């Protein structure tokens, strides 16, 4: 039994009702773990965002490096063949989302932060200038998402605000993260079916839910848990059962919980442990107990 299988089985023993998840993890390493705990696929680059598509291919925002000095978005099949590639032109690329219209959504951080929709031929068909600070490119934004109403939801870290942009660049909605702690940088922003917005705050070590008026109606942090599982919570996902999966990017070292699932009542019902020095940047849970999760991004 390999290490990944062993640590996942240990996590299963801590789950409620035999919960198992199949998921894609991004970060310093990029891989898919099956519901049986096996690492069934790996990608040989560091990544920042990603999805398992309905056809089994994987869409990824690739970290900047030698081959991609400005980062990139790629779609690859399970053999590693590149089916789509768009190279970033600034400091880094932090978003990858496959849209129903066939386009790919991405963001570029840099001197001119922007959100774009790119068609499969690589043509930029939508471009929105992002309203955020430009002194620290790395801390401008993370995973942006196109909403059902056609707008774009974008978390801005150092600005400590989540903004919903219209295609013309104007702001349709925004919510500010708390002043205390001051490092409550919004990293993940997810528009929920009830109209609320779920936000992970990195160094603030908490998850918030805002109503449409921008009021915090639910939150959870280490003070609500029997042990401190929040450690630089970056990625997150609201599951169909109403629970939330949270990725702790700062949870380094052996025996640390990298992913956990928590209920509305703030009860931890599933954890995943990985014996590595780094945590998980973002997570896409695409199966639970062997059944596909509805609402995953489609091509």
Query: pLDDT-derived band of residue 12, with 50, 70 and 90 as boundaries?
Result: very low
Domain count, the chain: 1
In this prediction, residue 20 carries a pLDDT of 93
Is the residue at 299 inside a domain? no
Residue 204, φ and ψ in degrees, nearest 5: -75, -15
In this prediction, residue 298 carries a pLDDT of 37
CA angle 34, 80, 117 (to 5 degrees): 95
Is the residue at 298 inside a domain? no
User: What share of the chain has pLDDT > 90, as a percent?
Assistant: 86
Is the pLDDT at 245 greater than 60? The verdict is yes
Look over the chain and give the mean of its residue pLDDT values, rounded to a whole number.
92
Q: Could you tell me where the DSSP H helices lie in the chain? A: 3-13
In 3D space, the residue among 93, 78, 6, 1 whose CA is nearest the CA of residue 43 turns out to be 78
Query: What residue numbers bound the domain in which 287 lies?
Result: 3-292
Is the residue at 93 inside a domain? yes
Mean pLDDT of the region 222-233:
96
In this prediction, residue 255 carries a pLDDT of 83
In this prediction, residue 185 carries a pLDDT of 97
Mean pLDDT of the region 238-248:
96
Poorest-pLDDT segment among 14-28, 71-85, 199-213: 14-28
**Which tens digits make up the pLDDT trace of 96-129?**
999 999 999 999 999 999 999 999 999 999 999 9
Give CA 170 to chain center in angstroms: 24
Handedness of CA 139, 151, 196, 173 (dihedral sign): positive
In this prediction, residue 16 carries a pLDDT of 64
Q: Is 16 helix (H, G, I), strand (E, B) or coil?
A: coil
Q: Assign residue 195 a region (left: φ > 0; alpha: ψ between -120 and 50; beta: otherwise).
A: left
The domain spanning residue 98 has which CATH number? 2.130.10.10
Mean pLDDT of the region 152-160:
98
In this prediction, residue 48 carries a pLDDT of 96
What is d(CA 151, CA 229) in angstroms, rounded to the nearest whole number? 33
Query: pLDDT-derived band of residue 181, with 50, 70 and 90 as boundaries?
Result: confident
Is the residue at 102 inside a domain? yes
In this prediction, residue 161 carries a pLDDT of 98
Poorest-pLDDT segment among 63-77, 130-144, 225-239, 245-259: 245-259
Poorest-pLDDT segment among 16-20, 203-207, 211-215, 270-274: 16-20
In this prediction, residue 91 carries a pLDDT of 97
Is the pLDDT at 276 greater than 90? The verdict is no
Query: pLDDT-derived band of residue 263, with 50, 70 and 90 as boundaries?
Result: very high
Is the residue at 297 inside a domain? no
In this prediction, residue 8 carries a pLDDT of 40
In this prediction, residue 96 carries a pLDDT of 97
In this prediction, residue 278 carries a pLDDT of 85
In this prediction, residue 294 carries a pLDDT of 72
Query: pLDDT-derived band of residue 295, with 50, 70 and 90 as boundaries?
Result: low
Residue 167 tokens read as 């295609």
């Amino acid at each position: 039994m390999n290490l990944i299988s062993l640590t996942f089985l240990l996590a299963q023993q801590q789950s409620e009702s035999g919960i198992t998840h199949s998921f894609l993890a991004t970060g310093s390493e990029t891989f898919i773990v099956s519901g049986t705990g096996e690492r069934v696929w790996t990608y040989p680059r560091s990544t920042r965002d990603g999805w398992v598509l309905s056809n089994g291919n994987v869409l990824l925002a690739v970290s900047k490096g030698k081959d991609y000095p400005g980062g990139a978005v790629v779609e690859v099949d399970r053999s590693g063949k590149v089916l789509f590639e768009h190279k970033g032109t600034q400091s880094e690329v932090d978003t990858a989302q496959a849209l129903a219209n066939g386009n790919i959504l991405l963001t570029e951080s840099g001197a001119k932060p922007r959100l774009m929709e790119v068609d499969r031929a690589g043509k930029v068909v939508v471009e929105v200038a992002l309203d955020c600070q430009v002194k620290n490119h790395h801390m401008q934004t993370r995973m942006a998402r196109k909403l059902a109403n056609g707008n774009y939801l974008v978390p801005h870290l150092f600005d400590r605000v989540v903004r919903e942009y219209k295609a013309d660049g104007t702001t349709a909605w925004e919510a500010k993260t708390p002043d205390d702690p001051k490092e409550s940088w919004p990293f993940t922003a997810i528009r929920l079916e009830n109209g609320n917005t779920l936000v992970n705050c990195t160094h603030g070590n908490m998850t918030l839910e805002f109503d449409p008026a921008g009021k915090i109606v639910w939150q959870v942090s280490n003070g609500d848990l029997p042990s401190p599982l929040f450690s630089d919570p970056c990625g997150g996902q609201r599951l169909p059962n109403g629970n939330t999966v949270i990725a702790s990017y700062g949870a380094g070292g052996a025996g640390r919980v990298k992913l956990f699932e928590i209920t509305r009542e703030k009860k931890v019902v599933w954890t995943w442990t990985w014996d590595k020095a780094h945590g998980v940047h973002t997570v896409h849970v695409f199966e639970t107990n062997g059944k596909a999760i509805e609402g995953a991004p489609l091509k």
